Copies of this chain bind each other. A is one copy, B any other.
Amino acid sequence: MEVRNRYVATRHHIEGAPTEADFEVREETARWSPDSGEVLVRNLYLSIDPYQLNRMKRSSASHLAVDGILPGQRIAAYAAGEVVASASPEYAEGDVVAGVLGWEDYTLFRPSPAVLMSKVDASFPLSHNISVLGTSGRTAYGGLFEVCKPARGEKVFVSAASGSVGSLVGQFAKLAGCYVVGCAGTKAKVDLLKDKLGFDDAFNYKEEPDLKSALKRYFPDGIDIYFENVGGEMLEAALANMNTYGRVAVSGVISEYTGAGRRAVPDLLEVIYKRITIRGFFAWDFLPKFAEFNAAIGEWVRQGKVQVIEDVSDGLESVPSAFAALFSGQNVGKKLVKLA
């Protein structure tokens, strides 16, 4: 079987903030045969994530953990789709799956643990399988519960709190009995955090000339847990306001991905004297616990205890603008692209 496949590719390595012009939609013929052992998927929802920018750089620490993206090549990405042909006994035509597919109309994959493929839970909207039940939910859950280990009553600060991961971390932390404050970059996002997502408080960091003072105001008793999504000055301000034995889970540092913001210069005296732990992590570090994570998260979503915020663009050609928007603060919640 042959299908015309359109895929999004970079035109060149990207070192700063991405723009639509850095990408192009290319076409190829994807060939599947019954003796290939491969599965052909028509993609339905694509996950658009900031970390992909690091893969697009010529050189990055990212390349140690995930393959770098070469200009002109297909871009692997978490996605959901429908099996249209299968040469694997594990999958049948019509199965709907989620896992590592790509920013493209069709993906061929060979079943292996590396592609993290699973059949979707049809009792949820399909998009949820690559947002709250996908990498974003697992990042939020693993980062909060496995890395930060919150105790009831602890004070939790979440940056980029209206984003795909932050919006879940804050809600999970509330469910764990914590006091939660988030920051975001627009009034609408701040309102969302307070009015819809149940954060105890929230603020617009762009309106705060001094982040250290701002955090002192929002956390008069100090911060126990900082869920780090942005880096730069925000990390410095959080460390300055942390309590003894504070924990920082470094999930992402979006302000440092583009090189636009200045990099964090943490005060290591704070780290020593307050015995702070700063730990970088991935969702994949908790792979053996994904089923457990998803059972807990799924139950919360079913009970209406966790609101799922998805920001959906339409059509493969919208991938470049959707991706670029992540770095100018235009998305709210999980950014997805729905294919026709």
User: Which residues in A have some Cβ–Cβ distance to B below 8 Å?
Assistant: 54, 60-62, 64-66, 228, 231, 235, 244, 250-253, 256-257, 263-282, 285
Contact = CB atoms under 8 A, between A and B. Distances in A.
Q: How many copies, total? A: 2
A17 to B, nearest CB: 16
Interface of A, secondary structure class, is: mixed
A275 B271 contact: no
A94 to B, nearest CB: 37
Contacts of A268: 228, 231, 235, 250, 253, 256, 263-264, 280
Given A65-B244, A275-B279, A277-B278, A266 B264 contact: yes
A274 B279 CA distance: 10
A266 B266 contact: yes
A270 B65 contact: no
28 contacts: A54-B269, A61-B267, A61-B269, A61-B270, A61-B272, A61-B273, A61-B274, A62-B269, A62-B273, A228-B268, A235-B268, A250-B271, A250-B272, A253-B268, A256-B269, A257-B269, A263-B265, A264-B268, A265-B265, A270-B280, A271-B278, A271-B279, A272-B281, A272-B282, A275-B280, A275-B281, A277-B280, A278-B279
A253 to B, nearest CB: 4
A251 B263 CA distance: 23
A272 B244 contact: no
Nearest to A245: B285
A265 B280 CA distance: 16
A13 to B, nearest CB: 15
Nearest to A222: B64
A77 to B, nearest CB: 17
A244 to B, nearest CB: 7
A65 B66 CA distance: 40
Given A62-B273, A250-B271, 8 more contacts: A61-B274, A64-B274, A65-B274, A253-B269, A271-B280, A272-B282, A277-B280, A278-B278
In the complex, the 7 A-B pairs of residues with the closest C-beta atoms, listed nearest first: A271-B280, A272-B280, A61-B269, A253-B268, A61-B273, A65-B273, A278-B278
